[in-house]
Amino acid sequence: MKIGEGTQIFEPVTIVHREEISIGKNCSIGQFCFIGGKDITIMDEVEICPQVTISGHGKVTIGKGATICYGARIIPSTMDRKFKYMNDLVRHKSPNLSDVISGSITIGEGAYIGSNAVICISKKHPNIIIGDFAIVGALSYVGKSMPKATIIHQKNKNKLRRR
């Protein structure tokens, strides 16, 4: 794992696949975070608040100066349609990697991801880009790309609004 100068990681934090994770300079990763992706790049000056989860087999890139608030989930892979929900595994057999849909999530420079927001890829949208300086409100679900400088929030059922 590559960690830039001035970066603070507040224990306890769980980081798996350490050899495939790069964290830039002057970043902050809060307590009780789980970072477990296979290809994660966190640029300089990113703030990741406590209880954030970044997990899955896809690629995640978080741009310079982005903020990921408390409890947000970033999931660059999901299960195939055989499963009703992305975490609803068949109890009698383990899913194999052919059941997993992998993609990428890119969060732009200065973007703000609100508390308990979820960003998750799907078969229809395997690569999601959250544009520079975009805002994802608390409790929102994002399942497709957002242009730069837009706001999305739970109240408007994920309709994009330009600033």
Q: Where are the domains of the chain?
A: 2-162
- The pTM score is 0.83
Residue 121 half-sphere exposure, CB side, CA atoms within 13 Å? 27
157's torsion region: left (phi>0), alpha (psi -120 to 50) or beta?
left
Query: Average of pLDDT values for 32-43?
Result: 92
What is the rounded distance in angstroms from the CA atom of residue 25 to the CA atom of residue 61? 15
Res 28: pLDDT: 97
- Whether the predicted pLDDT of 126 surpasses 50: yes
2-162 belongs to which homologous superfamily? Hexapeptide repeat proteins (2.160.10.10)
Name which residue leads in pLDDT, 77 or 133.
Answer: 133
- Whether the predicted pLDDT of 7 surpasses 50: yes
What is the rounded distance in angstroms from the CA atom of residue 130 to the CA atom of residue 125? 13
Res 41: pLDDT: 96
**72-103 pLDDT tens trace:** 999 998 765 554 444 444 444 455 555 677 89
pLDDT confidence of 122, banded at 50, 70, 90?
confident
Query: Average of pLDDT values for 40-50?
Result: 97
- Nearest CA to 115 among 152, 87, 73? 73
- Whether the predicted pLDDT of 108 surpasses 70: yes
- Whether the predicted pLDDT of 136 surpasses 70: yes
Mean predicted lDDT score pLDDT of the chain: 85
Query: Average of pLDDT values for 20-44?
Result: 94
Res 119: pLDDT: 95
Asked if 10 and 29 touch (Cβ cutoff 8 Å), the reply is yes
Res 85: pLDDT: 45
Query: Average of pLDDT values for 135-151?
Result: 93
pLDDT confidence of 19, banded at 50, 70, 90?
confident
